[in-house]
Structure 1
Amino acid sequence: MNTYDKVQPRLLLSSITLAVLTLMNSATAQEMQRVEVTGSSIKRLATEAALPVSTIKAEEFAERGMTTLADVMMALPQSASLAPSNAGSGTNINLRGLGVNRTLVLLNGRRLANEAIADGYANLDVIPMSALSRVEILRDGASSIYGSDAIGGVVNFITKRDFEGASATAQYIQPEKSGGGDEQRLTLTVGKGSLAKDGWNVYASVDMHRRSRLAQKDRAELSSTELLTSIGRAPTLGSGGNAMPANFTTATNKTAQNPYFASGCVAPYSIIGGKNTCILNNQEYGTALHENEQLTFYARGTKRFNEDHTLSIDYMRGQEFILAARNPTNAVAVNGVNATLPSTSKWYPGASGGVPAVAGLKGEPLTVTWAVADYGVAVQKDKQVNQRIAVADENRFGEWDVRTGLVIGVSDRENYYDNGFFTGQGLLDGLKSGALNPFGLQDQAGRDYLKSISVDGQKNRDSRSTFTGVDVNASRSLMELAGGSMALALGADIHRDTTRDDKLAVQNSVTYLNSTSSHGEGARNVYAAFAELDVPLTKQLNLNLAVRDDYFSDFGNTINPKASFRYEPSKQIMFRGSANTGFRAPTLFDAYGYRLPGATGKTSAKWDDPLLCPGGKPGVAGTGTALPGFVASEVCNVALPKQVGSNADLRPEKSRGYTLGVVVEPIKSLTLSFDYWNIRMKDMLANLPEQVYFTDPAKYQSLIVRNPDRTINYIKNVTMNLGGQKAGGIDVSASYDFPRSDYGNFKVQLDGTYLTQFDNQLEKDSEFVSNVGRFGLASNGTTSSLPIITYRWKHTLKLGWAKGDWSAQMTQNYNSSYEDQNLVAQQYWRDIESYKVWNLTTSYKGFKNIQITAGITNLFDTNPPVTNHSGYANGYLSSAASPIGRSFNLRGTYNF
């Protein structure tokens, strides 16, 4: 019988023969010791964990000039995270490129409530950075302790255990070039009591961070017409579309025209497009980095009753505002009625409003494609608040060390129309009455009318997700073996997840966004039990096996084992490895989110409708020709309607993974490690990559739904069970401490990942396609529409120096070269250059109670790599590189 079909909860534990010390101990305590003694040869190897864990201490955030956890995640060689400026939901972490839904984020070893809309991952921006002690990254997946859904790995943010005194920090980052992108951070931490002396401690930390908007025009050189033309994406290839001044067609002439084309359109709002039209000037409206504000609060109280018994309670509240600026509101059809300008309007070409006459017009109504430029960019405000209270008790009962915990988490997300949004019907009525001018900026009457139909300030979406869980973990020594004590750990946890997502009725009136009101709601209970056994057979060899049994109230039962070993034949070499299986149920959004019958948005890139704009190169926008009777700007080189949302027919996905590594210390102070990792997935939950609908339209014809007039109603792009994925690579780490000298202490460290395989299968039993170092067909449920970046090699190189009160660190973040998409109108082929950014910081702590750090980010002012990928309208790899350029960083800390 298929275990997923069972309807009664079943918590079955397989027999256990071999296991490690509880993963919670080995992944935390052992790894923490490993980091503290880095560079001490034999002792380090003796305490090396069997599982590959990376640790970043909080002190290193400052040493490397990091201001947010997004900086931390982007620098991880194992991470394929997108730059946060391209993620409207905040910052998420994507280990191994397997998808943000497959990376488990923890705070002090326990889960948070997920981001409220997608409900599949945590937003890192709400985690209190100033309260952190370190970040640990478990690089192999499917943790038996934390959850079998952690297919890509686990990221555990660990706060300070206690804090006494007071500390305040101010930080300022100023780009060298003019424009936005500056950052400010203020933190204050206060605490009282000593766990060691008083047996108790209470502390609290508040952290404020702000980044201003960096407009695309602030870095115009990165997206200039000359640059875009040189890579095959000349802006003038576009024609028609919504612009200011508006383009227009008539009932008898479907070729778009513009009364201002002959005079060069209207700067800076539009530029000359193809075929006698004007097009929107992306340089004027584009955003390189969204404005972002974060405010986090963290408080923790701990009471130590005796040597074995400690109780702690902590509370976190993280709040974030993201102001996402986008192209101006467009006047679009409402209920099938187009935006029409009658001849009675004074703004009709050649009439009293001063709009130039257009030859051939005889007073017939004009269908206009108009962008409302008067308010500039349209801005949406995204507000997120994530709260969590956690109670943890550590005690000893007889021979058992027992840990219990309670977590209650709530994540709220609200979206608002902040600036520049209007009702669609109001725009159409204003054109019809003559109040609105589609060919220029408005007069006072027009501005008053726009104000009357504005929806600015109104909430348009309200979402909430919750997490409530209890857990217990007990461990003890069983017997003495040749290598030490055999230890057993048993545990269980129960948690409930809920989600609710409401698109409010006001969305029906803002037709420009092609979104309508909806409601999605879902919940599940998860019951789990796990066990681990540590068997130190000899002083040199530890073997292990762990097992986890999960029951999902909506998807049934699953049992997933995990095995690992550590073998140290000598003090200079250690071998380690692990193997696991994983199981991930669809997220609550994927299974129960909104479901609407039509389009819910637009494609992220522009495409040619393969039926109505045929004759071009498949997948290359702007190469087809519109069929007679159809407007080229509506069917060629245009963003097309797309349907996303949940799917009731989804199945869970499964995985198998393993690691095999070696750690060596050939000479004193030099440590090297190499860990091979391999992950196989099937029934992968994801959306089809957008480009496949247009590169192979015959194959995906059934997913392109058309209206009676043959225009596209929507492209079905909801979450589906796709085929499989195969990923593998080698993590490399090297650390060397130079001999002490009169010039100070020098250290060099390298952490990198070499990708050996990243193959995707879009349908079951179809061909696997490689995505290593190229824009292939990778699709894995990542929330952003931008593609997954699978570099062949990625590393962080750190050069450190310290002498007395002075220290300095120079860091290089490196991404290897990449094959470009090359779906452009011309016969064109290019590669994306490698990207290497150097950062330099210097610190001084010679003043009493004061530490100062100054640095330069992007020391050599390296521009982001250029790409002709259709998803990057700005022409550079904005999802993986910063457009800010060289910036200066100053940080000061005062300890009271």
Structure 2
Amino acid sequence: MIKPLSITLAIAAAFPQVAVAQEELTRVVVTGSNIRTTQKEGASAVQVLTAKELAATGKVTISDILRTISANSGNSYNEQYTGSFSAGTSGLSLRGLAQRNTLILVNGKRVSSYATAQNLQEVFVDLNSLPMAAVQRIEVLKDGASSVYGSDAVAGVVNIILYKEFTGTEVSAQVGSSTEGTGQLERSFALQTGFGSLDDKGWSVVFSLDGQKRDKLQQSDVSWLRSSDFRGNPNGTLGWVPTNYYGTSDPTKLLGGVQGPLQIQNYGDITPGKSGSVLAYNAADYRTLIPGVERAHASLRGTLKLNENTEAYAEGLYGYSWAEQTFGAPLTVGSGLRAWNNSKQALDNINVLLPVGHPNNSTNAPQAFTATLFDLGARMKQDKVDFYRVLTGIKGSWNGWDYDASVARSGSKLKETVQNFVNRYEFEKVLAEGSYNFADQSKNSEAVRNRLRLSTLRPAEASLSVVDFNASKELLQLPAGALGFAFGGQWRQEEMDSNTSTAVLSGTELRPAINIIKGKRDVSAAFAEFNVPVLKDLTVNLAGRADHYNDFGSAFSPKASVRYQAAPWLLVRGTVSRGFRAPSLPEITNSTSVSYGSVIDKLDPITPTQPRGITNLTVANTELSPERSNNFNFGVVLAPSSNTSVGVDFYRIRTKGVIGTESADTILANEKNQPEKVVRDAQGRILTLYRQYANQGERLTTGIDLDLRHKLPKTSYGNVTLNAQLSRVFKFSQPLSTGAALTNGAGTNYFGSIPKWRGTTSATWELGQWTSNAAWNFVDGYDQTTRAGEHVKPVATVDLNVGYKISAATSVNLIVTNLFDRKPSWDSSFAFFDYTQADPRGRFASIKLNHKF
């Protein structure tokens, strides 16, 4: 594999060295500041994705575009994370610092977080709820901006800017399918229309509508995954699940025989070192890789010019999302079966014993057993989400001041339904009366099956109310230029009410999953900013923000930045800032979570080399302090010609008091010292891990970003534009346990997969009626820390978008994702591949038709 740096240097070496052309620049506000300037490149690194660049990708969602940027190092999730309380969503994690540290704005203003938390504690904005058709450009600020925007901008800011004015109507339709025989289809459409003109008529209205429908992709649909036979890979085994046996520790004591999906398998193929035969099933039949989705988004914005200096505006956003997936195989009953006891706020153990006289018990004593209730059907889940934001404001100029004031209300509402879960009380009844046959489930009546089946509804809701004001002015003329000043304030109220089903609260549901979050907070802030021209080519920016949270206290975030135009072809820039992240509502308020994960437990008597399903009980901590960060950024931008720029930016983020829980691997490694955190059954198999949020220690992240852009001179062969954005992580260090020394996780999966290199390099070629774009996407490999000596290989894919302009108004595009059908790299900790870094669909081809009226 060619390293990205080699390609970067090759492109840079090819850039011609010619004089810089001067151009007239309009004063604009760039993400990361409240002061208008004419500087094309500011003191902070901002990646701008223009409408033309967005269209060139051929992607139909904001999520698909943003998740390919190089600064999205790791620890971000999209709908491939099907084992989530936030299934069907997609977030972004700049610098690998988790979704909760990346602020998502729409038109420079906040939107509501998703209705519930990702990974129990991550409050984040769901990119799948935002409209793609209305996007004019996206600005990605890659340094900390707590001093301007607040607590959740430690890693950076993504500002999604929608059209303020649009003339005419544009419609498009796209249909695509996997070429690899998975049967997965994807259909989408988009409409954008606009009326009026602020300059000519004094008003404008812009409306957009887009929609998407995509079929569900099961593991059994993918040829190289459907067998679950990974024995040809490092630490790979036959990924079948032993079940239906007497007792709790020896699956060779068969309960019944082949039935439903059960087959006889060699125990040693599943767990190396074991002997004998077991009944097992292929988990691929019950695993959704990508949910089936239906989505629709609408955006409406109106602007009215009240006079030459004043505009009133209003906008509404609405997003509907429905995601459907196979939650998992039918429930397995046996050791460790639990139900929730709400009065004790704990889990009750459910006895799983065949009573004397039961058709499956030929002994004279109650007998323990393990069995999967296949005849009840796979457990299914559907998530329906309604998102909205309504906003109105006024902006303009008065007495030399530029101002903007607005009020907004935003929310996200989730309804999650599940089917074929199991009723605890009916299970206890049929077990006691012997009316359910575990050994031969074909003998069970449909009436008994229906008694056991349980369907539930889980509601969750988040809301955000915001009042914003900011104003800026050139206070006076200094010898080197105008002294710019901005100030403002914000009040917002955040609320989250994530509940669980009544069946869980009543103790009715077996093996319940719980993510209860109930909290509300008020946040008030005041901020100020100065832009000081020290010399003609040297500008210093000073900013500060004071935030007050009614649930933990106050914090102040200062920032200083320097921009030095050392030569017409050389810009030097740097920023120093302090930031903080307030404890999230799930971390600090009334919050209880029961979740299910897996660990590789070398002490497990049945599957010591395979992931073992366990229960996590996690609780909030009202004594948490905020995370405090120190950010440093330094960069240079070289512009050897008007068509060429080379940017190199170094970043360093040190965070103290990082909030989290110890990993399962760490808890098991320290089990002798803290046995109360691990609960095992009588056979020694893990049942439960107990966790609580805490301020655990420091985290240090360092790296560089490279941004290369070059446009070749126009020739008879057309126009060619080259772009490359590459990121290199030097350090991603934090302690493996509270109080331990820092461990560098860059290039490993100690703290989630953090590849050292990530990047996208693209070339666009325009010739006559033809436009082509090829993008090379690279994700570096990393060391697998739970399996000594295993290295996950790098992956590089190529996307191609070829368009032809049929007429001045109509065009057609062929879009191929993963042109060369590269498979994700094997990662034994995920049983096949890391879904945060790769996509299992293989080559995917689409046709898009676009027409302008």
Q: Which TM-score tier does this pair reach, normalised by the shorter chain?
A: 0.7 to 0.9
Query: Where does residue 247 of structure 1 map in the other structure?
Result: 245
Query: Where does residue 761 of structure 1 map in the other structure?
Result: 735
Q: Is 1:601 the equivalent of 2:558?
A: no
**Alpha-carbon distance in 2 for matches of 1:394, 1:68:** 30
Consecutive unaligned residues in structure 2, runs of 5 or more: 1-26, 269-275, 339-347
Q: Is 1:339 the equivalent of 2:332?
A: no
User: Which AA in structure 2 matches 1:639?
Assistant: G
Using the TM superposition, give the Cα deviation of residue 431 of structure 1 relative to its aligned residue in structure 2, in angstroms: 4.0
Q: Is 1:800 the equivalent of 2:764?
A: yes
User: Which AA in structure 2 matches 1:437?
Assistant: N
Consecutive unaligned residues in structure 1, runs of 5 or more: 1-22, 35-45, 350-360, 624-635, 779-787
Local SS of the residue matching 2:426: helix
8 Å CA contact retained: 2:174, 2:187: yes
Q: Is 1:258 the equivalent of 2:254?
A: yes
Query: Where does residue 590 of structure 1 map in the other structure?
Result: 587
- Worse-matched range after superposition: 705-714 or 151-160: 705-714
**Alpha-carbon distance in 2 for matches of 1:737, 1:851:** 24
1:140-539 aligned at under 5 Å gives the runs 140-222=143-225, 224-228=227-231, 230-235=233-238, 240=242, 243=243, 246-249=244-247, 257-259=253-255, 267=261, 271-273=265-267, 275-325=276-326, 326-332=328-334, 333=337, 335-342=348-355, 344-346=357-359, 348=360, 362=363, 364-417=365-418, 419-443=419-443, 446-456=445-455, 458-459=456-457, 461-507=458-504, 508-509=506-507, 511-515=509-513, 520-539=517-536
Query: Where does residue 40 of structure 1 map in the other structure?
Result: none
Q: Is 1:573 the equivalent of 2:570?
A: yes
Q: Deviations over 1:409-457 (max 9, x none)?
A: 122122211x3223133234334444433234434x522322233223x
**Alpha-carbon distance in 2 for matches of 1:748, 1:708:** 63
Local SS of the residue matching 1:698: coil
**Alpha-carbon distance in 1 for matches of 2:773, 2:205:** 33
Using the TM superposition, give the Cα deviation of residue 760 of structure 1 relative to its aligned residue in structure 2, in angstroms: 0.8
Using the TM superposition, give the Cα deviation of residue 398 of structure 1 relative to its aligned residue in structure 2, in angstroms: 1.0
Query: Where does residue 63 of structure 2 map in the other structure?
Result: 70
**Alpha-carbon distance in 1 for matches of 2:363, 2:746:** 58
User: Which AA in structure 1 matches 2:753?
Assistant: I
8 Å CA contact retained: 2:800, 2:817: yes
Using the TM superposition, give the Cα deviation of residue 406 of structure 1 relative to its aligned residue in structure 2, in angstroms: 0.7
Cα 1:822–1:411 change in 2 (3 A) is: closer
Cα 1:577–1:462 change in 2 (3 A) is: same
**Alpha-carbon distance in 2 for matches of 1:876, 1:773:** 16
Cα 1:226–1:387 change in 2 (3 A) is: closer
Using the TM superposition, give the Cα deviation of residue 226 of structure 1 relative to its aligned residue in structure 2, in angstroms: 4.2
**Alpha-carbon distance in 1 for matches of 2:301, 2:487:** 27
Query: Where does residue 697 of structure 1 map in the other structure?
Result: 671
8 Å CA contact retained: 2:151, 2:582: no
8 Å CA contact retained: 2:333, 2:371: yes
Q: Deviations over 1:31-75 (max 9, x none)?
A: 9999xxxxxxxxxxx621111001112333332121222211221
**Alpha-carbon distance in 1 for matches of 2:516, 2:824:** 40
8 Å CA contact retained: 1:133, 1:158: yes
User: Which AA in structure 2 matches 1:249?
Assistant: G
Using the TM superposition, give the Cα deviation of residue 103 of structure 1 relative to its aligned residue in structure 2, in angstroms: 0.6
Query: Where does residue 25 of structure 1 map in the other structure?
Result: 29
Query: Where does residue 644 of structure 2 map in the other structure?
Result: 670
Query: Where does residue 654 of structure 2 map in the other structure?
Result: 680
8 Å CA contact retained: 1:651, 1:683: yes
Local SS of the residue matching 1:393: strand
Local SS of the residue matching 1:75: coil
Q: Deviations over 1:760-803 (max 9, x none)?
A: 12455421001011122x2xxxxxxxxx2211111100011001
Using the TM superposition, give the Cα deviation of residue 343 of structure 1 relative to its aligned residue in structure 2, in angstroms: 6.3
Using the TM superposition, give the Cα deviation of residue 538 of structure 1 relative to its aligned residue in structure 2, in angstroms: 2.3
Using the TM superposition, give the Cα deviation of residue 483 of structure 1 relative to its aligned residue in structure 2, in angstroms: 3.1
**Alpha-carbon distance in 2 for matches of 1:28, 1:306:** 29
Cα 1:371–1:514 change in 2 (3 A) is: same
Query: Where does residue 724 of structure 1 map in the other structure?
Result: 698
Q: Is 1:886 the equivalent of 2:843?
A: yes
Query: Where does residue 15 of structure 1 map in the other structure?
Result: none
Query: Where does residue 16 of structure 2 map in the other structure?
Result: none
Using the TM superposition, give the Cα deviation of residue 269 of structure 1 relative to its aligned residue in structure 2, in angstroms: 7.0
Cα 1:809–1:270 change in 2 (3 A) is: farther
Local SS of the residue matching 1:640: strand
Q: Is 1:56 the equivalent of 2:49?
A: yes
Local SS of the residue matching 1:122: coil
Match of 1:818 among 782, 805, 819: 782
Give TM-score scaled by structure 1 length: 0.84
**Alpha-carbon distance in 2 for matches of 1:422, 1:882:** 32
Local SS of the residue matching 1:86: coil
Using the TM superposition, give the Cα deviation of residue 720 of structure 1 relative to its aligned residue in structure 2, in angstroms: 2.0
Match of 1:876 among 828, 833, 843: 833
Higher RCO, 1 vs 2 (CA within 8 Å, ≥6 residues apart): 1
Q: Deviations over 1:171-213 (max 9, x none)?
A: 1120002224321112223332122211111222222112211
- The structure richer in strand per residue is 2
Match of 1:839 among 799, 804, 824: 799
Q: Deviations over 1:687-737 (max 9, x none)?
A: 222211223323443422568998756312232211110001010011111
Cα 1:697–1:86 change in 2 (3 A) is: same
Local SS of the residue matching 1:473: strand
**Alpha-carbon distance in 1 for matches of 2:499, 2:364:** 45
Match of 1:849 among 775, 796, 809: 809
8 Å CA contact retained: 2:540, 2:562: yes
Match of 2:608 among 622, 642, 646: 622
**Alpha-carbon distance in 2 for matches of 1:744, 1:520:** 57
Cα 1:255–1:708 change in 2 (3 A) is: closer
**Alpha-carbon distance in 1 for matches of 2:706, 2:726:** 5
Query: Where does residue 895 of structure 1 map in the other structure?
Result: 852
User: Which AA in structure 1 matches 2:177?
Assistant: Q
Cα 1:840–1:539 change in 2 (3 A) is: same
8 Å CA contact retained: 2:91, 2:126: yes
Cα 1:672–1:233 change in 2 (3 A) is: same
Local SS of the residue matching 1:144: helix
1:646-665 aligned at under 5 Å gives the runs 646-665=620-639
**Alpha-carbon distance in 1 for matches of 2:183, 2:694:** 40
8 Å CA contact retained: 2:534, 2:540: yes
8 Å CA contact retained: 2:628, 2:656: yes
Using the TM superposition, give the Cα deviation of residue 602 of structure 1 relative to its aligned residue in structure 2, in angstroms: 2.6
**Alpha-carbon distance in 1 for matches of 2:625, 2:131:** 35
How well do the aligned residues superpose, as a CA RMSD in angstroms? 2.9
